[in-house]
A and B are shown apart, each in its own frame.
Chain A
Amino acid sequence: MTYIVEGESGPWEVVIGLEVHAQITSNAKLFSGAATAFGAEPNAQVSFIDAGFPGMLPVINHECVAQAVRTGLGLNAKVNLWSRFDRKNYFYADLPQGYQISQYAHPIIGEGAIDIELADGSTKTIGITRLHLEQDAGKSQHDQHPTKSFIDLNRSGVALMEVVSEPDMRSPEEAGAYLTKLRQIMRYLGTCDGNMDEGSMRADVNVSVRKAGEGFRTRCEVKNVNSIRFVMQAVETEARRQVEVWESGGTVEQETRLFDTSRGITRSMRSKEDAHDYRYFPDPDLPPLVIDAAWVEGLKAALPELPDARRARYVRDYGITPYDAHVLTLERETAAYYETVAKGRDAKQAANWVMGDLFAAINRTKSSIAEPPVSAADLGALLDLMADGTLSGKLAKEVFEVMVETGRAPGAIVEERGLKQVTDTGAIEAVIDQVLAANADKVAEYRSGKDKLFGFFVGQTMKAMQGKGNPALVNDVLKQKLS
């Protein structure tokens, strides 16, 4: 469905492109040997290189290059065997060198494309313009002192990938789906942890509006949006603002804007007088980045299965619906969990349990698929107990709840609590005989044609058996006795 902003002059189309800054998963920084872990004491993970001390020189981290290449391959993009680092010159308190080392003219990754999934079940291809490597800046804290900002350089020099999309998105939903997919791919690849809360992924959102059939109008860049929800909100609000500007006879100026999350609006970020002039030039401290085609092939061969392929395989091999396959492959951990449960079992039943009871339990216990309340092996064992008739569906749900509470294996719980289903026909007959004897009037009614009472006898029998009677056997014996 087409997303439209209704203006006074009629409908407007929205054009969106995203520049996503993703922190590369690595032990050490892009150009220094300092650590990258989140949450360290201020300035504890800083080398003199990261702090821009005199005479300090950058040496690139091989793994960061590999991570960029893996990501490029995951985005179906061209890998450039020759690339280069430029300096982007500007002054800022948390930019110690006075420049950011980035790949401006010659990025390591060129054009690519990914498919995004939309709510109506359709997919859309979004073009990737490029991916390049660059350094992150430090962090300024503005709330620690009445007249000062405090600078922490722990982030300074951490490796980032900037992934630039084509202006191919046309709605907040598409922007959200793109970011979701990009995050999913990088998490599958292990190249970015995608923790938006910790700043591992931030997006600059380029938004413009236009009338149907027009070329592009001037765009604005909404900087540093740090959640998928905010990206969608920023698109919506910025598009509406631009429509208002155009319709009131004004002109949208190309500028950088900030998304004010508390008020849900965007506002101009920097005044025009200090127009950006980054004075890019090749970093003379760094020779060109030259990588080997065979090495790239090796990385390609070692890539894990990506979400699209995995989803298709689930539909094909497990026979589950495309929607279920989509949900189960959103996170690599979920997919791995599901595959453990489904292996050698009823794959559809496994899908239902994972998406139903397990997800509910995760929500309820505020845990995660990475640290699930019930292990995949235990859930599999529970399914086995149903398959061999030990547990009814109802009992299985009860056992599952105990598993969530205690973290114990289903077999042990069944043993201990005597929850084992009764499949002994004689025992069932004995109970049924008692039930029928105690309800002779109802038996008479049933026999005189009141069929609906059958459920009553099942209920009474199960109640007498504390729910442990095998439902199929109970049914059979009852039918027999009542006929």
Chain B
Amino acid sequence: MSLDTATVRRVAALARLRLEEQDVARVQGELNGILGWIEQLQAVNTDGVEPMAGGTPGGVAAMPMREDVVTDGGQAEAVLANAPDREGEYFGVPKVVE
């Protein structure tokens, strides 16, 4: 499977990465190089194999749970302290029209 330029643009848009027109061909070449190398996986027979999402044998098999107690929050200052655009007690972004 190799990517055409339309797909490269679509993927960049999905990932919210601005892609200048003059870079499309280069990026396409790099991605196709990597994907071509990954292609060898198609040769592996995985019939009947259960996918492994992560973890390790003997690790955490089931998600641990937390009690329903309020232990966090009440720290608007800290939450907002790193904001590039802070508007009072809110984060500011360019107006979103729906």
Residues in A lying within 8 Å of B, measured CB to CB: 26-28, 32-35, 41-49, 51, 59-65, 91, 93, 140-142, 144-153, 258, 269, 274, 277, 279, 282, 284, 286-290
Complex interface: chain A residues within 8 A of B75 (CB): 46
**In the complex the two chains form, is A145's CB within 8 Å of B87's CB?**
yes
The residue in chain B whose Cβ has the minimal distance to the Cβ of A35 is: B70
The residue in chain A whose Cβ has the minimal distance to the Cβ of B60 is: A287
Also in contact, A42 and B61, with CB within 8 A (given A28-B71, A149-B96): no
Complex interface: chain B residues within 8 A of A141 (CB): 90
CA distance in complex: A277, B10 (Å): 11
A312 nearest CB across to chain B (Å)? 33
**In the complex the two chains form, is A290's CB within 8 Å of B92's CB?**
no
CA distance in complex: A277, B54 (Å): 24
CA distance in complex: A64, B66 (Å): 10
A259 nearest CB across to chain B (Å)? 12
**In the complex the two chains form, is B93's CB within 8 Å of A148's CB?**
yes
**In the complex the two chains form, is A47's CB within 8 Å of B93's CB?**
no
Residues in B lying within 8 Å of A, measured CB to CB: 13-14, 16, 53-55, 60-76, 78-80, 85, 87-98
The residue in chain B whose Cβ has the minimal distance to the Cβ of A48 is: B79
B32 nearest CB across to chain A (Å)? 20
Q: List 9 A-B contacts (CB under 8 A).
A: A32-B72, A35-B70, A42-B76, A46-B73, A144-B87, A148-B93, A148-B95, A149-B94, A287-B55
**In the complex the two chains form, is B70's CB within 8 Å of A287's CB?**
no
**In the complex the two chains form, is A44's CB within 8 Å of B62's CB?**
no
Also in contact, A277 and B79, with CB within 8 A (given A60-B66, A258-B98): no
Complex interface: chain A residues within 8 A of B85 (CB): 148
**In the complex the two chains form, is B89's CB within 8 Å of A42's CB?**
yes
A15 nearest CB across to chain B (Å)? 27
B96: contacting residue among A33, A51, A61, A93, CB under 8 A: A93
B63: contacting residue among A151, A284, A289, CB under 8 A: A289
**In the complex the two chains form, is A147's CB within 8 Å of B63's CB?**
no
B97 nearest CB across to chain A (Å)? 8
**In the complex the two chains form, is A51's CB within 8 Å of B79's CB?**
yes
Complex interface: chain B residues within 8 A of A282 (CB): 53
CA distance in complex: A288, B55 (Å): 11
Complex interface: chain B residues within 8 A of A286 (CB): 63
B58 nearest CB across to chain A (Å)? 13
**In the complex the two chains form, is A287's CB within 8 Å of B92's CB?**
no
The residue in chain A whose Cβ has the minimal distance to the Cβ of B54 is: A284
Also in contact, A153 and B63, with CB within 8 A (given A91-B16, A269-B98): no
**In the complex the two chains form, is A44's CB within 8 Å of B70's CB?**
no
Complex interface: chain B residues within 8 A of A63 (CB): 67-68
Complex interface: chain B residues within 8 A of A150 (CB): 87-88, 90-92
B70 nearest CB across to chain A (Å)? 4
B95: contacting residue among A33, A44, A147, A289, CB under 8 A: A147
**In the complex the two chains form, is B90's CB within 8 Å of A43's CB?**
yes
Complex interface: chain B residues within 8 A of A47 (CB): 72-73
In order of increasing CB-CB distance, the 6 nearest A-B pairs are: A33-B71, A63-B68, A34-B73, A33-B72, A290-B62, A150-B90
Complex interface: chain B residues within 8 A of A27 (CB): 68-70
Complex interface: chain B residues within 8 A of A41 (CB): 76, 89
CA distance in complex: A206, B17 (Å): 33
Complex interface: chain A residues within 8 A of B94 (CB): 147-149
The residue in chain B whose Cβ has the minimal distance to the Cβ of A93 is: B93
